[in-house]
């Protein structure tokens, strides 16, 4: 759906100190997926997303959307293609003198859509984003989450194939953020939109994205499936983002730390990935085998495609029962590390 090759953006300055905001960036984004781009302030992620619809002109490289090279289009062709790309922003960018209805209708007016058709489309979008009953409200009468819902509806007015989200939840409280993310997932499912999410919050990535690219100093330093990035972060910047939602894994105690506290049994490190984290494993073990299990430490977080986390437990009981329980765990997809008591 979207192929980005050797994309760069260099800002020229009068003192000849050029700034490279996007540096030889390469990405491939699949049709219908929710793709995340994460980076700290100054990483180049907002410049990158504005390059996609040429709100910023690239210095070099290629952006192909739906088999069309965005970087080679003339002005008229670019205007036509931009109608297929919706965009929502951190600070909503609503027209404060217009009602909710009229804000959503605005891009349809510009596109020359007939009045009756506009009305039907706007009412459909108002229902989709959960603003029924607020059609005649002005932005000043809305909460932050409601304003962003207006922004989303307006971005969808021309039936785009791609939705760009530039820090769309950064100005919202945590509960409202989750509500907006749920809405984006619902829109992705109903409309089959390709959604590109720019953020500095790993919570956003883990909740709705299938794949993620990590940006630093204008470059993509790491990319892959969200679960893979959680499991095996390679770069320091990526590890810092994972720590936002998982805590500092380096500060987690090694398995042998717990052993000295027990005179019998075994200490187990259970590593859950994807659907395995949704299994009631501890409950099944206790019900099936004559063992006692004490949870020592753990941290599990949910991503869009499953959960990821680690659980340390002490298992005690008859030696044979313990071995049978461990054998049972090996038959599942839960990764297991075992340490005998001291």
Give the global pTM: 0.81
Strand partners, 302: 307
Structural contact between residues 269 and 331, judged by C-beta atoms closer than 8 angstroms: no
Q: What is the pLDDT of residue 342?
A: 41
- In the chain, where the domains are located: 2-245, 252-340
- CATH number given to 2-245: 3.40.50.300
Render the burial of 110-135: b for 16+ CB within 10 Å, e for the rest.
eeebeeeebeebbeebbebbbbeebe
User: What was the pLDDT predicted at 90?
Assistant: 87
Point out the residues of the chain with pLDDT beneath 70: 246-261, 274-279, 305-307, 340-342
Q: Which CATH number fits domain 252-340: 3.30.70.990, 3.40.50.300, 3.30.70.260, 3.30.1300.10?
A: 3.30.70.260
Taken in order 209, 105, 114, 130, is the CA torsion positive or negative? positive
Nearest-angstrom CA–CA distance, 20 and 11: 6
On whether the CB atoms of residues 125 and 190 are closer than 8 A, the answer is no
Four-residue CA torsion sign, 246, 251, 256, 262? negative
In this prediction, residue 250 carries a pLDDT of: 46
Nearest to 312, CA basis, from 290, 342, 338: 338
Q: For residue 253, what pLDDT is reported?
A: 54
Query: Backbone phi, then psi, for 275, in 5-degree steps?
Result: -65, -20
Specify the pLDDT at position 265. 86
pLDDT of residue 248: 55
């Amino acid at each position: 759906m979207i192929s980005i090759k050797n994309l760069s953006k260099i800002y020229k300055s009068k003192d000849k100190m050029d700034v490279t905001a996007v540096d030889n960036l390469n990405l491939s984004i699949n049709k219908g997926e929710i793709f995340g781009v994460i980076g700290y302030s100054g990483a180049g992620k907002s410049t990158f997303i504005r390059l996609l619809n040429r709100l910023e002109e690239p210095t070099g490289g290629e952006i192909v959307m739906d088999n069309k090279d965005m970087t080679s289009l003339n002005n008229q062709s670019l205007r036509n293609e931009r109608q297929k790309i919706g965009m929502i922003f951190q600070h909503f960018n609503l027209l404060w003198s217009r009602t909710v209805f009229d804000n959503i209708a605005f891009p349809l007016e510009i596109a020359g859509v007939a009045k009756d058709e506009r009305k039907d489309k706007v009412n459909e979008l108002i229902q989709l984003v959960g603003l029924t009953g607020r059609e005649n409200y002005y932005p000043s009468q809305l909460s932050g989450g409601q304003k962003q819902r207006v922004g989303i509806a307006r971005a969808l007015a021309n039936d785009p194939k791609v939705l760009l989200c530039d820090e769309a939840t950064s100005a919202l409280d945590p509960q409202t953020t989750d509500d907006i993310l749920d809405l984006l997932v619902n829109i992705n499912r109903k409309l089959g939109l390709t959604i590109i999410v720019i953020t500095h919050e790993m919570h956003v990535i883990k909740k709705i994205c299938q794949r993620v690219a990590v940006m630093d100093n204008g470059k993509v330093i790491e990319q892959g499936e969200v679960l893979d990035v959680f499991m095996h972060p390679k770069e320091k910047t990526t590890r810092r983002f994972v720590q936002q939602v998982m805590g500092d894994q380096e500060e987690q105690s090694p398995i042998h730390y717990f052993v000295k506290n027990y005179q019998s049994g075994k200490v187990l490190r259970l590593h859950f990935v994807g659907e395995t984290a949704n299994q009631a494993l501890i409950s099944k073990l206790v019900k099936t085998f004559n063992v006692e299990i004490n949870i020592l430490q753990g941290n599990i977080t949910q991503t869009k495609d499953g959960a990821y986390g680690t659980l340390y437990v002490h298992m005690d009981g008859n030696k044979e029962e313990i071995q049978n329980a461990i054998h049972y765990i090996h038959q599942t997809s839960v990764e297991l590390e075992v340490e005998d008591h001291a």
